[in-house]
Amino acid sequence: MSKFKAHSVLPGFNLSLGYTLLYLSLIVLIPLSALFFKTATMGWSGFYDLATGERVLASLRVTFFASFAAAVLNALFGLIVAWVLVRYTFPGKRVVDALVDLPFALPTAVAGITLAALYAPNGWIGHYFAAYDIKIAYTPLGIVVALTFIGLPFVVRTVQPVLADVEAEVEEAAASLGAGRLAVFRRVIFPAVYPALLTGFALAFARAIGEYGSVIFIAGNMPYISEIAPLLIVSKLEQYDYAGATAIAVLMLLVSFALLFAINGLQWWNSRRGTR
């Protein structure tokens, strides 16, 4: 062990820990502390009045419900996309695999403008739905579409390597013992990919909560209907109401932490149950 420490590529524990704490302080802890300190200038009563305002609550409902719906859709279809990319060989597979990462590379504003043009009532896709009096762009449904677009890679790239490690021979053995396709998926495949799928869901959900660029162009931004909380923060900043902007940000941060804590607790509970 001492020989390994002497020839370690990385510096010692104390130095590594110091760099880690310094980096986290500069990038995460100090900005978050400033956020809370700025919010504290408005007092508890001011924060409570702002947090319980109808417009703020409406924007938070739109943000979190749309983010949750998009994350659920991504968990479902992301698993299917990852399955196809791992288990099948077809012409253009590398192109499809590269397209999954497109939301990472594409500027969010460009994505929002493109989606708004496609799903508008007179757009290439939107006019088919408009014929049935279904409006996508400039509604909360459009927000879900945009958040689904930007969140899909998180699920696919999280589940894909786990699916690749699940050997097909295990499924064949289960099938040879008389298990049907549904039983094989429920008892063999899903337990193996469930932790990764839950992690991908959490990443997609967290990413969607703070999304701004791809949403404002397709949301319609109507107060109490399709206004997201990040847009309300920007509106506060444009009015030089910095304390109000940070207060909304703190409120979103607290709710996000609570939801992510619940998801991590569910992962921990499932891992404990699996080891019994």
Triad 39, 41, 45: Cα angle to 5°: 80
Any domain includes 21: no
Any domain includes 12: no
Any domain includes 81: yes
User: 37-59 burial string, b = 16+ CB within 10 Å, else e?
Assistant: ebbeebeeeebeebeeeeebebb
Any domain includes 5: no
Q: Which domain holds residue 253?
A: 43-271
d(C-alpha 264, C-alpha 274), whole Å:
15
We report the CATH number of the domain holding residue 242 as: 1.10.3720.10
Q: Positive or negative CA dihedral for 171, 160, 27, 266?
A: negative
Per-residue pLDDT of the chain in tens (276 residues, 90 and over written 9):
445 455 566 667 778 888 888 888 888 888 888 888 888 888 888 888 888 889 999 999 999 999 999 999 999 999 999 999 998 888 989 999 999 999 988 888 899 999 999 999 998 999 999 989 999 999 999 999 999 999 999 999 999 999 888 777 777 677 776 777 777 777 778 888 888 998 899 989 989 998 998 999 999 888 899 999 999 999 999 899 899 999 999 988 888 888 878 877 877 776 776 555
Any domain includes 181: yes
Any domain includes 30: no
Any domain includes 187: yes
pLDDT at residue 1, as a whole number: 47
Any domain includes 92: yes
Instruction: Indicate the number of domains in the chain.
Output: 1
